[in-house]
Chains A and B, each alone.
Chain A
């Protein structure tokens, strides 16, 4: 666990440095687009009566934004490093130019890599005194980590729940008296090679990684409102190459997963079904696509413009109903897969089962009609929160993970490595152990 502590703490220290310097970049490397937002951190309270800090996003401002088509990505993972690096250079340069500042630190999101969620539980005996920070550290250290498997890296490890004796559901047990302290922790791992590739790409752009978050988690932060996070909700981020699932309860992420299917698969289906190039299929999908067809759609014909080189002969047309007929099974497949993941995670046990669809895929017309058979009636299509300075073009559902990263940068959740390392795990002759002993006894 020491490696984890060290690397994550180094990343957190980098984030602190970036915040002090005043500028940090958000990099959302997705399969269909790459977005870069430059945040200016001023920490100033917004003027006006009754205007609070909101979810912490008022302490940051977006001063530059750029978005470009993603290249070299598949299923949320880097496939061609050089292409991705060039795409990252393009957005970073654009965002820097818009912001007129140079950014050195980047907070990135990772959507692929086969995320796996683990629920950990730990328990320690207290000596009957009030719970102190050391006890919290001890109980976190007492969580038994399952075998993560080879080549897995921990992205998030957040304490979700504390229990003191028979009382459960505490956010902060410090200062309370009890005999037995237990905690539940949520841990999210991804394949480390995927992370390393991303870090390598960012390094090659002369940037430093100051934070790493799961795309599903970031989307949930941005598109779930506070009550939904409190009562239990799932955010489904329908991206280009992967569909992220994050379940929130009592304002904590308790489950995250990803389905390696997304808008690109729909585009591929269209291209195969209609025998047209992928670019044309993408255009058809975004302009004429839908999830539910009506009788009106039979009469609406779309020129394919096959671009097959035979302009005189290749004047095929297709009705919108046909297009929807191609798209719908794939959408249903994705939703079904998501439903299975949610069932496996025990989503139905939550008190409220709100489903929020977001991401670029959620903009398919008719999705809100298609989704209820899978998820029940509590389905809505969500757009991200507003962050000061967010450009109009980045307010859509496709940017919810980027906006979520802004919130993550502004007020990150306490993670395992933010707590003190329990004294007992220091080496016996360590100088820090001696220092801690001095600090506690004088």
Chain B
């Protein structure tokens, strides 16, 4: 049996045994374990950074200072003169509308372009009746450009509370104080008339031969149009193909001078059976004439 007590050779100590101790062997195996390796190369640095960060952020005044610093930096960038908007230029709007847009937007100049919510501003501009389209952009040089396309009034819509101007699509443009203010525009009335503005314009265009005698159009039952002429004459138009029906009436008028006679009503609601109503007096006279000609019995 080999001696249990290690024999120490006199002289300089030389390491005769190349074998690692059990502890060294186990530690090396532990170091080579993949999870431990990863923990050492990734986990430990990450943990150290986290601990340092947590310690640094532990005091409230340091946190507040950081927040204030971040806010100041942000503010410094925001308030640079490159980002400032000094002026608002509204193009394409009439004076009244332009003033109203400026009043509505109510932007205090100068303002940083980061604080401008262009989508919101645009929605506010579009909320005006008179504006059909609006393009907003911040131009280099600190100018907020607002390009506005106004609605063009094409019709007057008479309602119980007054006159409203409508554009070609039937969208309201603005209130009109008196008919005489816009004598050039045709008048329509009746509930739902704005939704049929296109048809109304077509009818007005087709009624050009009547020119001065056209008084206006009345929407009946949100379904069809009545055309009102001067002297209380009226054309009842059908629901479908109203323009065709009107042209037929106008053709009869041109050939036979229909509206110069004592006609109060031309009823075209059934296109296959147009009906004409005479003035009651005229009708009575006519009957009288016939009776006279034919005899009483």
A53 is an interface residue with CB less than 8 A from chain B? no
Given contacts A93-B25, A205-B25, A206-B26, contact A86 B19 (CB under 8 A): yes
Given contacts A89-B25, A205-B25, contact A96 B19 (CB under 8 A): no
Residues 214-245 of B contacting A (Cβ, < 8 Å):
none
B18 is an interface residue with CB less than 8 A from chain A? yes
A259 is an interface residue with CB less than 8 A from chain B? no
Q: Are B20 and A96 in contact (CB under 8 A)?
A: no
Q: Are A89 and B19 in contact (CB under 8 A)?
A: yes
Bound: A83/B3 CA distance, A: 13
A90 is an interface residue with CB less than 8 A from chain B? yes
Q: Are B26 and A87 in contact (CB under 8 A)?
A: no
Bound: A90/B19 CA distance, A: 5
Q: Are A102 and B18 in contact (CB under 8 A)?
A: no
Report A-chain residues with C-beta under 8 Å of the C-beta of B17. Answer: 86
Distance in Å: Cβ of A177 to nearest Cβ of chain B: 53
Cross-interface CB contact of A90 among B18, B32, B34, cutoff 8 Å: B18
Q: Are B28 and A96 in contact (CB under 8 A)?
A: yes
Residues 25-48 of B contacting A (Cβ, < 8 Å):
25-26, 28-29, 32-34
Residues 65-108 of A contacting B (Cβ, < 8 Å):
68, 80, 83, 86-87, 89-90, 92-93, 96-97, 100-102
Report A-chain residues with C-beta under 8 Å of the C-beta of B29. Answer: 96, 102, 206
Residues 1-36 of B contacting A (Cβ, < 8 Å):
2, 17-20, 22, 24-26, 28-29, 32-34
Report A-chain residues with C-beta under 8 Å of the C-beta of B33. Answer: 102
Q: Are A90 and B2 in contact (CB under 8 A)?
A: no
Interface residues of B (CB under 8 A from A): 2, 17-20, 22, 24-26, 28-29, 32-34
Report B-chain residues with C-beta under 8 Å of the C-beta of A205. Answer: 25
Q: Which residue of A lies closest to B29 (CB)?
A: A102
Bound: A101/B24 CA distance, A: 16
Distance in Å: Cβ of B61 to nearest Cβ of chain A: 48
Interface residues of A (CB under 8 A from B): 68, 80, 83, 86-87, 89-90, 92-93, 96-97, 100-102, 205-206
Report A-chain residues with C-beta under 8 Å of the C-beta of B2. Answer: 80, 83
Q: Are B20 and A90 in contact (CB under 8 A)?
A: yes
Q: Are B18 and A97 in contact (CB under 8 A)?
A: no
Q: Are B18 and A101 in contact (CB under 8 A)?
A: no
Report B-chain residues with C-beta under 8 Å of the C-beta of A92. Answer: 25
Bound: A342/B22 CA distance, A: 44
Bound: A90/B20 CA distance, A: 6
Report A-chain residues with C-beta under 8 Å of the C-beta of B34. Answer: 102
Bound: A80/B2 CA distance, A: 9
Report B-chain residues with C-beta under 8 Å of the C-beta of A80. Answer: 2
Report B-chain residues with C-beta under 8 Å of the C-beta of A68. Answer: 18
Q: Which residue of A lies closest to B32 (CB)?
A: A102
Additional 7 contacts, C-beta under 8 A, given A83-B2, A102-B33, A206-B26: A86-B17, A90-B20, A92-B25, A93-B20, A93-B25, A102-B29, A206-B29
Distance in Å: Cβ of A307 to nearest Cβ of chain B: 15
Report B-chain residues with C-beta under 8 Å of the C-beta of A89. Answer: 19-20, 22, 25
B interface secondary structure, majority: helix
Bound: A87/B20 CA distance, A: 9
Bound: A206/B29 CA distance, A: 9
Report B-chain residues with C-beta under 8 Å of the C-beta of A97. Answer: 28
Bound: A102/B31 CA distance, A: 9
Q: Which residue of A lies closest to B22 (CB)?
A: A89
Distance in Å: Cβ of A233 to nearest Cβ of chain B: 38
Distance in Å: Cβ of A395 to nearest Cβ of chain B: 23
Q: Are B32 and A100 in contact (CB under 8 A)?
A: yes
Q: Are B26 and A93 in contact (CB under 8 A)?
A: no
Bound: A68/B25 CA distance, A: 16
Find the residue from A89, A92, A101, A205 having the highest chain B CB count within 10 A: A89
Q: Which residue of A lies closest to B30 (CB)?
A: A102
Bound: A92/B19 CA distance, A: 10
Bound: A67/B272 CA distance, A: 116
Report A-chain residues with C-beta under 8 Å of the C-beta of B26. Answer: 206
Bound: A23/B55 CA distance, A: 42
Bound: A89/B27 CA distance, A: 12
Distance in Å: Cβ of B241 to nearest Cβ of chain A: 79
Report A-chain residues with C-beta under 8 Å of the C-beta of B22. Answer: 89
Bound: A100/B41 CA distance, A: 15
**23 pairs across A/B with beta carbons < 8 Å?**
A68-B18, A80-B2, A83-B2, A86-B17, A86-B19, A87-B19, A89-B20, A89-B25, A90-B18, A90-B19, A90-B20, A93-B20, A93-B28, A96-B28, A96-B32, A97-B28, A100-B32, A101-B32, A102-B29, A205-B25, A206-B25, A206-B26, A206-B29
Bound: A90/B16 CA distance, A: 13
Distance in Å: Cβ of A33 to nearest Cβ of chain B: 13
Bound: A101/B20 CA distance, A: 17
Q: Which residue of A lies closest to B31 (CB)?
A: A102
Distance in Å: Cβ of B30 to nearest Cβ of chain A: 8
Bound: A86/B15 CA distance, A: 14
Distance in Å: Cβ of A205 to nearest Cβ of chain B: 7
Bound: A97/B31 CA distance, A: 10
Bound: A68/B18 CA distance, A: 9
Report B-chain residues with C-beta under 8 Å of the C-beta of A93. Answer: 20, 24-25, 28
Report A-chain residues with C-beta under 8 Å of the C-beta of B28. Answer: 93, 96-97
Q: Which residue of B lies closest to A102 (CB)?
A: B32
Report A-chain residues with C-beta under 8 Å of the C-beta of B18. Answer: 68, 90
Report A-chain residues with C-beta under 8 Å of the C-beta of B24. Answer: 93
Distance in Å: Cβ of A1 to nearest Cβ of chain B: 36
Bound: A86/B34 CA distance, A: 25
Report B-chain residues with C-beta under 8 Å of the C-beta of A90. Answer: 18-20
Report B-chain residues with C-beta under 8 Å of the C-beta of A86. Answer: 17, 19
Find the residue from B2, B20, B29, B34 having the highest chain A CB count within 10 A: B29
Bound: A83/B19 CA distance, A: 9
Find the residue from B20, B24, B26, B34 having the highest chain A CB count within 10 A: B20
Bound: A87/B25 CA distance, A: 12
Distance in Å: Cβ of B93 to nearest Cβ of chain A: 75
Report A-chain residues with C-beta under 8 Å of the C-beta of B25. Answer: 89, 92-93, 205-206
Bound: A100/B19 CA distance, A: 18
Q: Which residue of B lies closest to A71 (CB)?
A: B19
Distance in Å: Cβ of A97 to nearest Cβ of chain B: 7
Report B-chain residues with C-beta under 8 Å of the C-beta of A206. Answer: 25-26, 29
Bound: A97/B20 CA distance, A: 12
Report B-chain residues with C-beta under 8 Å of the C-beta of A101. Answer: 32
Q: Which residue of B lies closest to A82 (CB)?
A: B2
Bound: A215/B66 CA distance, A: 71
Q: Which residue of A lies closest to B19 (CB)?
A: A86
Bound: A239/B236 CA distance, A: 125
